[in-house]
Structure 1
Amino acid sequence: MAEPKVYSSVEELRGAVGEQLGYTDWTEIDQRRIDLFAEATGDHQWIHVDPEKAKEGPFGTTIAHGYLTLSLLPLFAPQLLAVEGVRMGVNYGTNKVRFPAPVPVGSRLRSTARISEVTDVPGGVQVAMVFTVEREGGEKPVCVAESVSRFHL
């Protein structure tokens, strides 16, 4: 498993703004994961869940939902970064999300991230990180998203 960059304190994290983190492990996107995401969200569009019809579609196969790819950030983040001395972290939101390329079924994805901002908030700090999710063998990223988390002290 990928080893996260460990920051020994929030102060050390503040000094890391602009730092590019390493890479996560690869995660395979199979049809079962796509189908479960469709079930959870109610998005059953054929390009995601109908392999036979999708063969004739624009991608030649089913593709993952963009929001499925985005939903992997909580899987990827702990593989990239850990901060000692915090009680917990929570997702606060996203500032910008783009899906520059599709994720065909069977793809393997991994992520890297750059720490873009660390600001004080009551009881802790808010951390913005720009994640870039790539597909093995792909030319363009499949997701670029600035995710915002809060670490409570």
Structure 2
Amino acid sequence: MTMPATNVVGRAAFEAMVGTEIGVSDWFTITQEQINQFADCTHDHQFIHVDPEAAAKTPFGSTIAHGFLTLSLLSAMVYQMPSIKGVTMGVNYGMNKMRFVSPVKVGARIRGRFVLADFVEIRPDEVQSTLAVTVEIEGQDKPALVAEWLGRRYFGKDTS
């Protein structure tokens, strides 16, 4: 279970991290149950995700996670990264770039590696960050995905 970030830093300290790796998440094991639940939520029941017997006959050799399941887990992974003092809400703003590089087989363990690529003030109570994200697959050289993830954060009245 992922807990909210305990490393809370001031806005200036967070901005000073631009260009550096801000953290690496814990490993997440991808289970068939997760894959099946994601298939139910998205109505994507392609056999490579939900039919172990048929998927075993493909070049993957087993079922694989939906790429969008892997992408969705970024939300859980980022909670382990530093957060900014005074933020009252954060939202996904989009992706500049995103590629699914390698399939994630059922039973694989993945983790996110986060670099703060950019940090921009939109307004005094709103900032935008760009995170260069790599989702690694344990024991593999090629990652599951790479992305430039945009996030907006909003501050309450006290942002000191």
TM range (shorter): over 0.9
Instruction: Tell me the equivalent position of 2:105.
Output: 104
Instruction: Tell me the equivalent position of 2:136.
Output: 134
Q: CA RMSD in A?
A: 1.7
1:50-129 correspondence to structure 2 within 5 Å: 50-122=51-123, 123-129=125-131
State the identity as a percent: 44
Q: Which amino acid aligns with 2:135?
A: V
Unaligned runs of 5+ in 2: 156-160
Asked if the contact 2:3/2:79 (under 8 Å) is kept, the reply is no
Q: By how many angstroms is 1:8 displaced? A: 2.3
Instruction: Tell me the equivalent position of 2:12.
Output: 11
Provide the rounded CA distance (Å) in 2 between the counterparts of 1:35 and 1:3. Answer: 26
For 1:91, what is the secondary structure of its paired residue?
strand
Deviates more, 1:83-92 or 1:38-47: 83-92
TM-superposition CA deviations, 1:81-106 (whole Å, max 9, x none): 21112112111111111111110000
Aligned residues: 153
Asked if the contact 1:8/1:85 (under 8 Å) is kept, the reply is no
Please identify runs of 4+ aligned residues in structure 1 that moved more than 4 A.
Answer: 1-5
Instruction: Tell me the equivalent position of 2:158.
Output: none
Deviates more, 1:7-16 or 1:23-32: 7-16
Q: Which amino acid aligns with 1:33?
A: Q
Provide the rounded CA distance (Å) in 1 between the counterparts of 2:144 and 2:120. Answer: 28
TM-score when normalising by structure 1: 0.93
Provide the rounded CA distance (Å) in 1 between the counterparts of 2:149 and 2:114. Answer: 10
Instruction: Tell me the equivalent position of 1:45.
Output: 46
Unaligned runs of 5+ in 1: none
Asked if the contact 1:112/1:132 (under 8 Å) is kept, the reply is yes
Provide the rounded CA distance (Å) in 1 between the counterparts of 2:147 and 2:6. Answer: 20
